[in-house]
Structures are given as C-alpha cells and as structure tokens.
C-alpha cells in the first residue's frame, strides 16, 4: 500500500513536470515568433549571447535578460548596455566612459573579454536596453534552435508525444492494477467456496 502511494506521488510529479515543460516550450516558440526575435517576459527581453566578448560576465550561448525603455542618457561608467551597432547588429558591452556634450550623450563601450574599447562611440538614442544581471548559461543555443522551422515543429510536437506516451503508460498501469484486483478477488471467492 505504501509503495502504491509513492508510485502515485512520483507519477503526479512527472505529469506536472511534463505539463510545465509543454507550457514553457509553447511560451518560448510563441513569444519568439510574436516578437520576431528573442522572447519577452514581464517587460524584460531575453537576448542570446552570440560571442565571447563579455566573458566571464556571461558565456557564449547564454541567455541574458535586459530591460528596455527609460531615459537612455542615465547610464554611467560600469553599466552594461545593449545597443544597435547598425540596423542588423545588436551588441551588449560595458560602458567604460561617458561623454556629454549639451543634450547629446556618447558612451564608450568595451567587451569585458576584449583588449581594447569599441572603435565607435554609442549614441544614447542607439541604446535599447540595460543588462539586469540575470543570465542562464547555454539556454541561448536552445532558443536559437527554437527559432528555426525544425526547432519550432519539434518543440510543439515533442512535449505532446511525451504527454501522450506517459498517459498511455499510466492507463496501462491502472488497467493492470484493476486486473490484479479482479484476479485476487476471484481467487479469494474460489478459495472460500
């Protein structure tokens, strides 16, 4: 009886974990497609680190959370910002110098792992977000995979297949337990007769 409760408890935990995995994967795929890039969550953008320029602060393949918006002239030396280097390139580097000229603010930036500062200063209007300090190592590889057609299809199908398989196993176990109870009760009836 005690082992049955343990098995049922483990079964419930596995069901919950698989269901949460399905919900998370749906969120990642839908959020990535809706935003046209990295997913967004509670006002934060999740960016994938594609180079080692900021190691050891965050490693290549990590996902970092950045907070967009606000006054982009507020940053100081030491802050880590995400900015547009050009129309297609987004970079996250640390500010090493702030230059103010009237209403214009220029940031000199440098990757923590780079020997020299970036060649071009960053205009405050090109800054899109500030790094929040939240990093998940290696998750970026997974998110990049989800943005491919094969990745999207796999992430929508795989959790469903896992849940279906687990349901079949659970039903099979339940039927086996019912068969055993029926068999045991028939045996006890035959013995008493």
pLDDT digits 0-9 by tens, 126-172: 999 999 888 888 877 777 777 778 877 777 787 778 778 878 888 88
Joined tokens for residue 82 = 């995400």
- Judged by average pLDDT, the poorest of 63-67, 83-87, 188-192 is 188-192
Which of 66-70, 116-120, 150-154 has the largest mean confidence?
116-120
| Total tally of structural domains belonging to the chain | 2
Q: Is the pLDDT of residue 1 over 60?
A: no
Same domain as 17, residue 98: no
Residue 189 lies in a domain: no
Same domain as 83, residue 20: no
Residue 96 lies in a domain: yes
**In the prediction, which pLDDT does 103 show?**
81
Residue 180 lies in a domain: no
User: Is residue 51 annotated as part of the catalytic site, yes or no?
Assistant: yes
What 3-state class would DSSP assign to 89? coil
**What percentage of the chain has pLDDT greater than the value 70?**
85
Same domain as 118, residue 87: yes
Same domain as 151, residue 107: no
| Cβ-proximal residues to 133 (8 Å cutoff; 6+ apart), any chain | none
Same domain as 102, residue 56: yes
Joined tokens for residue 157 = 């199908």
**Rounded to two decimals, what is the model's pTM?**
0.61
Same domain as 50, residue 113: yes
**In the prediction, which pLDDT does 111 show?**
92
Same domain as 43, residue 31: no
Residue 187 lies in a domain: no
Same domain as 124, residue 84: yes
**In the prediction, which pLDDT does 182 show?**
77
Same domain as 171, residue 138: no
Across the chain, mean pLDDT equals: 81
Q: Which of 11, 15, 51, 124 is catalytic?
A: 51
Same domain as 121, residue 77: yes
Residue predicted with more confidence, 145 or 90 = 90
Q: Is the pLDDT of residue 36 over 70?
A: no
Q: Label residue 98 exposed, middle or buried (CB < 10 Å: 0-12, 13-18, 19+).
A: middle
Q: Is the pLDDT of residue 81 over 70?
A: yes
> Please, are residues 29 and 146 in contact by the beta-carbon 8 Å criterion?
yes
**In the prediction, which pLDDT does 115 show?**
92
Give the residue numbers spanning the domain of 29. Answer: 1-37+147-175
């Amino acid at each position: 009886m005690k082992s049955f409760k343990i098995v049922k408890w483990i079964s419930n935990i596995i069901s919950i974990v698989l269901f949460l995995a399905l919900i998370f994967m749906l969120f990642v795929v839908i959020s990535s497609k809706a935003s046209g890039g990295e997913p967004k969550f509670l006002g934060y953008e999740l960016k994938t680190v594609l180079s080692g320029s900021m190691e050891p602060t965050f490693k290549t393949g990590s996902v970092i959370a950045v907070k967009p918006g606000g006054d982009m002239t507020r940053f100081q030396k030491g802050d880590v910002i995400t900015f547009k280097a050009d129309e297609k390139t987004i970079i996250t580097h640390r500010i090493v110098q702030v230059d103010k000229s009237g209403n214009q603010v220029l940031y000199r930036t440098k990757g923590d792992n780079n020997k020299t500062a970036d060649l071009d200063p960053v205009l405050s209007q090109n800054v899109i977000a500030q790094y929040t300090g939240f990093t998940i190592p290696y998750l970026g590889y997974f998110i990049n995979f989800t943005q491919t057609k094969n990745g999207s299809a796999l992430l929508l199908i795989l959790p469903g297949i896992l849940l279906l398989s687990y349901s079949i196993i659970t039903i099979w176990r339940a039927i086996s337990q019912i068969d055993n109870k029926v068999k045991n009760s028939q045996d006890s009836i035959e013995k008493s007769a």
